[in-house]
Copies of this chain bind each other. A is one copy, B any other.
């Protein structure tokens, strides 16, 4: 935890995204009048007055360098070093796909728990503490559970985590280790989420993605801020990001717009494309069918972390893709596996199934001619492959077993080279 003096309060309150009704900045996420989602409201003049490229660059090496854009008011933020993850200029993947300027935003190495969820949770728990919560909670497909448990442990907050019972082992262990109470619910994420709404009402706990959602979701804007800063204060031409609830995807764009609004980058159109797994693709289906509503689906895909059948921000994601000239596309589980391997073998980045989905959609959009070779394109990798080992292990290849002597090694090497030759000859047939 670092303490930085906050000179000016930039958070003005909450506002309904549908009817515009305003509310104080409390633990509240739904409009009383129209049931629309609430969003944080800022004083952009105040932000403009206290923020420049220089003040940001001189700030902490974490998401908190963008603090005037984040929905907190006090002096104490929970800063565990979250954010400022690498933006890598791709050489080998770009060449493979035939792209001229491809960048990879790598949240597979985010701090502390190796996914973009560390961003939203750092913001949500900071705000939770400001609002007086001592018990925090979440409904999660895994990454959020890891982040909430880790950051709550760091901050000394009591923590309850709700997950679907069939989650990957790495995500369960990567939650339990921090010592929260973990509730494994017999059901899918949408059922977990509904249960948590009831628990939040009854127990008055701070659920990061329910009653704290207006604060929580703002954390994803930092994925937009950082990319712009890391590109030398300019916006990309095209973005490919995963679509689960639709929150991450839409908030990246909101981040870009806020930078334009406060004069930190020049105006420039950004095409926003979204990635879903075919086994849970309600937004992609609506996009392709030209519908303006989302028909909920029952998830059936290895990409569990993005398997939300009834996405809260689905219609906003749909609208954003259309407004900006992007696309929402989906890929099969087999393509997801190939996407994971492609990214690992060309760039040395091991991502989980969600990242495999995004890479596979990137590839598909390029092949369909929907991303032009000269567009400055950023692909968002949002989680780490060590968390979803069971999904990829059967397809990752095998070791060659040898004895601890040179002769045994040479025999194995000869076998491996022969197999490689055979593989190669078969590709020629």
Contact = CB atoms under 8 A, between A and B. Distances in A.
Nearest to A146: B350
Interface in A148-184: 149-156, 163, 165, 169-170, 172-174, 176-179, 181-184
Interface in A364-403: 384-387, 389, 392-393, 396-403
A344 B156 contact: no
A352 B187 CA distance: 31
A346 interface: yes
B111 A106 contact: yes
A80 interface: yes
A267 to B, nearest CB: 27
Contacts of A2: 89
Given A198-B406, A404-B191, A406-B202, A150 B399 contact: no
A350 B178 contact: yes
A170 B386 contact: yes
B195 A405 contact: yes
Contacts of A80: 86, 88, 348
Interface of A: 1-2, 61-62, 80-81, 84-86, 88-89, 91-92, 106, 109-114, 149-156, 163, 165, 169-170, 172-174, 176-179, 181-187, 191-192, 194-195, 198-199, 202, 340-341, 344-350, 384-387, 389, 392-393, 396-406, 409, 412, 416
Given A112-B349, A185-B404, 4 more contacts: A113-B350, A165-B401, A182-B397, A187-B404
12 contacts: A109-B110, A109-B111, A113-B348, A149-B348, A150-B350, A154-B346, A169-B389, A179-B397, A182-B397, A186-B401, A195-B404, A202-B406
